[in-house]
Structure 1
């Protein structure tokens, strides 16, 4: 798969793709879907597969190399994970670690793993199966995760996804490598900041990074496709708190436009990175 690398200040940021998800129709992804948006913004047709009937979503990790340290933003789905609730995630097998190696990143060379939230497609490579046990993939890393999502798993509502916690989060805690980020967010190593953006899930956070006057913003699942820049009121099928999701999206778009931030998204196809600007009719998107 193509490698896309960007420079933000003195940091190098590289996209490492795990897999592409296909088969989700626009009308499934967005309950308010109307083809009108494709007529108004014909460039959005490039988000669809070759049949023009389903949206292509990317699952990937952002690798940030900065200050002689390696940071991973989210870790994808992972290999060999039992995910009966999603055929797209269940027992996946990809050469993800080989793709990391291809850009010079070995598991033991990762210093920090920053997690926007604790869903199955964002924490999977936290661990890998070794002699029948799930162990941290990145044995020397600190894993920073939202306290709000940890709290969710402590409630009965988290039972339906308990397997995600058990194989991809609990082993990190047991190994003493977990760092909980407070629900109000905060800074991490000065250059990074966790921003509460609940809605997709209660503990969801977006992560900004600043270096030499330039800003990157790792969006997590505040948006799933660029369609939501042109229809920011549209929540996806995966937004659990409707009002908060719209508020988080508005905050993120305003922040990106106000700070001239490069957005590093979690599921946009193509390069998955780009910039937001304000136009006559609202927000506009340009892939980088």
Structure 2
């Protein structure tokens, strides 16, 4: 189990499941076996010998002695994901792994969510013994950026409002996350409705949803940082404690190759140009510093430090020796 210390924050990675090799083929169009061979530091943690993406689903637990915070919440068990059926009806030991890390369901008091896609919200809720969806972490409040939650709700459309997203490519109010593989807005609407019912609504009904503005502070030392592109209001998470800093990517970075090639965007991005600009701004701001860079889908070595590498950047496991804290 990977753990890190950032000032007063103890951060623990809690693994949910690996992403099946091949599932993300084509997600980043430029990522070919030939291109990957030029970036040797990606092996063996982030790509296999065939040049295919290696990635996983996990959460981070952030504990400063006063708050125990869960960042993003994976797919969850028993959920309905018709747009990604391989992750439907899962039965993973995520909660047991959380317990092994030293945290029970009652210990989590804050949940953070970088964006409202199905592989980041599942453990918000679970079925109780009677089969009813209830908050997984009964003492936790879900703190989320208002614009992102409202974007999520906006994907639920009535039957008469459904249109093909291919006709809406210029509409900034339409999330085109399904454009590459599932271009039917009705499918996106149905999936969003299920996510709302099975994951968000139990939190809402319990009065545990708290919405904050763009770049909003959650508690001292913990805030959201706007990194738009994957969705219109995607936010990463920034931690500051005792002069030390960490950055949790969310899906601003799907894979470490986007550190080496920040202009390579995901097919699932709402706006690939915006996501590329967000990535480059983040990398330029933290390169050569002691900021701990933590990938939400990075397999293997999940966190490290950013250093310049030619025209791009790279992730290294050890803090650059010349860095002075700032």
Output the TM-score relative to the length of structure 2: 0.82
Match of 1:181 among 197, 207, 212: 212
1:127 and 2:125 aligned: yes
Number of aligned positions between the proteins:
284
Map 1:66-81; keep pairs closer than 5 Å.
66-81=64-79
Matched, 1:285 2:283: no
* 234-243 or 7-16, which deviates more: 234-243
Query: Paired residue for 2:14?
Result: 16
**2:84 maps to which residue?**
86
Secondary structure at the residue paired with 1:118?
Answer: coil
4+ residue runs over 4 A deviation: none
- Give the match for residue 249 of structure 1: 279
Cα offset for 1:208?
0.3
- Please say if residues 64 and 70 of structure 1, whose CA atoms lie closer than 8 Å, have aligned partners that are also in contact: yes
Q: 1:62 aligns with which of 39, 60, 63?
A: 60
Whether the 8 Å CA contact 2:263–2:277 is kept in 1: the answer is no
| Alpha-carbon distance, 1:197 to partner | 1.0
- Assess if the C-alpha contact under 8 Å between 1:77 and 1:123 holds in 2: yes
- 8 Å Cα contact 1:219-1:266 kept in structure 2: yes
- Report how far residue 35 of structure 1 moved: 3.5
Cα distance in structure 2, aligned partners of 1:179 and 1:259:
32
- Structure 2: how far apart are the matches of 1:133 and 1:26? 33
Q: In structure 1, how many angstroms separate the alpha carbons of the residues matched to 2:153 and 2:9? A: 36
From the CA coordinates, give the structure whose radius of gyration is larger: 2
For the 8 Å contact 1:125–1:137, the answer to whether it is kept is yes
Residue 145 of structure 1: how far off its partner (Å): 1.3
Secondary structure at the aligned position of 2:20 is classed as strand
Tell me how far 1:15 sits from its aligned partner.
Answer: 0.3
Q: Secondary structure at the match of 2:19?
A: strand
Q: Is the 8 A contact 1:22 1:54 kept in 2?
A: no
Task: State the match for 1:164 in structure 2.
Answer: 195
1:215-254 alignment, distance < 5 Å: 215-254=245-284
Deviation at 1:259, TM superposition (A): 4.7
Q: Secondary structure at the match of 1:60?
A: strand
Note the alpha carbon deviations across 1:145-168, whole angstroms, 9 max, x for none: 121222123323562422112211
CA distance in 1, matches of 2:37, 2:92: 36
Preserved CA contact (<8 Å) 1:108 1:140: yes
Following the alignment from structure 1 to structure 2, what is the Cα–Cα distance between the partners of residues 22 and 258? 33
Instruction: Give yes or no for contact 1:21–1:88 (8 Å, CA) kept in 2.
Output: no
User: TM-score, normalized by length of structure 1?
Assistant: 0.92
Distance across 1 between alignment mates of 2:52 and 2:220: 41
Q: For the Cα contact (< 8 Å) 1:14–1:62, is it kept in 2? A: yes
Match of 1:96 in 2: 94
The secondary structure found in structure 2 opposite 1:7 is: strand
CA RMSD of aligned residues (A): 1.8
Contact 1:153 1:159 survives alignment (8 Å): no
The alignment status of 1:192 with 2:222, answered yes or no, reads yes
**What are the superposed Cα offsets for residues 246-278 of structure 1, whole Å, 9 maximum, x if unpaired?**
111112212322653101111011031111112
Structure number with higher strand proportion: 1
Matched residue SS, 1:100: helix
Q: Flag structure 2 segments of 5+ consecutive residues without an equivalent.
A: 158-173, 175-187, 319-326
